[in-house]
Amino acid sequence: MWNRDLTEALAAILNPEAAEALRDLGKIADDRGINAFVVGGVVRDALMKRPCEDLDIVVEDDALDFAAAAARELKGRVKKHRRFGTAILVLGRGVKVDIATSRSESYARPGALPDVAPDPIDLDLRRRDFTLNAMAARINADGFGELLDPAGGREDLETGVLRVLHERSFEDDPTRVLRCVRFAARFSFEVDPLTEKLLQDAVDRNLVSTVSGERIMNEIRLILSEDEVWAPLERLDSLGALASIHPEWHLPEKAPNLFSELMTIMKDPVGSIRSATLWHTNFLAAVSAIDISDAGALLDRLRSGATLRSLVNELARFETRTRERLESEGALSRSSIYDALVALSPETLAVILASGGQIATQRIALYLSELESVRPILNGSDLIVLGLQEGSDLGRVLTDLRRARLDGFVTSKEDELEFVRRTIRNLDVKNKR
């Protein structure tokens, strides 16, 4: 028989502050005479010995009252979501605890948010997505760490199987289609055959289309933040789930190669790519084969903000205006490479580096490792001292000076001074004409 006491398993994956918070919250539950549990991903991760940061707590009581009492006692801050009856408790030293009332859920129609009713922990666990996420451990002092596993999650973890708890699971909440693919890929688990059939049925019935754009986008973001994004994306594509988000959404032909290159690039990023947001970069790659107007419609469907939109537009502009020049075999000066790439975001640079032919890749690599950080020694104030006035001439001279430095026409401060004086003389002549 397995050990049903998770005390040690929890201590092993939580940082000391989070482990202490669990004990403290258990004592507060004791004082109020209620049952309290840590649930979901934390319990799963404890059994899998995977580190975990955020705590999900369920109490058989009013979560908002419990959170307020805990905040008072542990000197934390509490953020209440009255609509859902849940609270986030933020304690010192970075511990964040989601607190919910133990509840059952019913769904008026697929894709709708659930109607909830308080119920004992057993029913709370049975409303959840997959057996491996439907476990809890008691945190009251009496029986701390005791495992509750009404759906056989532990056995599924041992055998590496992802399984829904009941046949209506994907219908109740079609975001579980995306979650299913994400967890299966993250843990390299088999999807149990009945779950697989229900998954495909859910996609074929187009249930994902009933979910709000914000909720789909949230799941997409989570998938694109995983260590391995190709496997879940490919699975969503072959299921037909990408197409049920937007009919024209399909992955690029060379996607396996593109994502494997991108993963290598993002693991050890060079130059300005270091500041790229990983999931934005992956999103750009995932939509890079779609026509720009379809990509716009997809972003509308996902209720995307301005940042992703501008990245998608930027990549499309690069493909139509610049890609060919960067791939061409003809000579391209260092300043021309710089000019072609300087306005691009880190995310776009990462994607074009991952998708470039040999010549373009070499040029982008040169830009990132060297060209983008080239600066003239003289700055704007120096140019004003030399006689230029603030305004467009000054900006242009600085740009020309940088180009001259990139192409090796100036290499020292004296060269730069000479370059600027000569440019001013030429400007004066031009202005007098």
List 14, 99, 128, 287, residue binding ligand CTP (CB under 6 A):
128
- Residue that is written with structure tokens 């697989």 in the block: 196
Rounded Cα–Cα distance for residues 235 and 242 (Å) = 9
Spatial contact of 413 and 378, defined as CB atoms under 8 Å apart? yes
- Residue that is written with structure tokens 């937007």 in the block: 246
Q: How far is the CB of 100 from ligand CTP (least distance, A)?
A: 9
Q: How far is the CB of 359 from ligand CTP (least distance, A)?
A: 40
List 26, 41, 153, 232, residue binding ligand CTP (CB under 6 A):
41
Closest CB to ligand CTP among residues 134, 410: 134
List the one residue out of 311, 303, 254, 301 whose CA is nearest residue 279. 311
Q: How far is the CB of 17 from ligand CTP (least distance, A)?
A: 19
Q: How far is the CB of 405 from ligand CTP (least distance, A)?
A: 48
- Residue that is written with structure tokens 């709708």 in the block: 112
CB burial readout 150-170, b (16+ within 10 A) else e: bbebbebbeeebbbbbeeebb
What is the DSSP track for 59-90?
A: ESS-HHHHHHHHHHHHT-EEEEETTTTEEEEE
| Interface region with ligand CTP, contact rule CB under 6 A, candidates 60-68, 126-134, 314-322, 410-418 | 126-134
What Å distances lie between residue 65 and 22, 59, 70, CA to CA?
17, 10, 9
Spatial contact of 48 and 153, defined as CB atoms under 8 Å apart? no
List 56, 60, 156, 171, residue binding ligand CTP (CB under 6 A):
56
Does the protein bind ligand CTP through residue 124 (CB under 6 A)? Answer: no
Closest CB to ligand CTP among residues 138, 176: 176
Specify the pairing of strand 95-101 against strand 115-118. unpaired
Does the protein bind ligand CTP through residue 154 (CB under 6 A)? Answer: no
Rounded Cα–Cα distance for residues 143 and 70 (Å) = 20
| Interface region with ligand CTP, contact rule CB under 6 A, candidates 4-12, 172-180, 189-197, 369-377 | 172-180
Q: How far is the CB of 40 from ligand CTP (least distance, A)?
A: 3
Does the protein bind ligand CTP through residue 173 (CB under 6 A)? Answer: yes
Does the protein bind ligand CTP through residue 176 (CB under 6 A)? Answer: yes
Query: From the CA atom positions of the chain, what is the Rg in Å?
Result: 28
List 129, 192, 261, 372, residue binding ligand CTP (CB under 6 A):
129
Helix (H) or strand (E) segment spanning residue 118:
strand 115-118
Spatial contact of 105 and 172, defined as CB atoms under 8 Å apart? yes
Closest CB to ligand CTP among residues 154, 176: 176
List 133, 195, 272, 355, residue binding ligand CTP (CB under 6 A):
133
Please count the residues of this chain forming the interface with ligand CTP, following the rule CB under 6 A.
11
- Residue that is written with structure tokens 């995310």 in the block: 347
Closest CB to ligand CTP among residues 156, 372: 156
Neighbours of 193 (CB within 10 A): 10
Does the protein bind ligand CTP through residue 131 (CB under 6 A)? Answer: no
Q: How far is the CB of 232 from ligand CTP (least distance, A)?
A: 12
List 18, 28, 38, 40, residue binding ligand CTP (CB under 6 A):
40
Residue nearest to ligand CTP (CB): 41
List 102, 175, 282, 288, residue binding ligand CTP (CB under 6 A):
175
Spatial contact of 266 and 278, defined as CB atoms under 8 Å apart? yes
Q: How far is the CB of 336 from ligand CTP (least distance, A)?
A: 45
Spatial contact of 151 and 124, defined as CB atoms under 8 Å apart? no
3-state class (DSSP) for residue 311: helix
Closest CB to ligand CTP among residues 179, 334: 179
User: What residue ranges bind ligand CTP (CB under 6 A)?
Assistant: 40-41, 56, 128-129, 133-134, 173, 175-176, 179
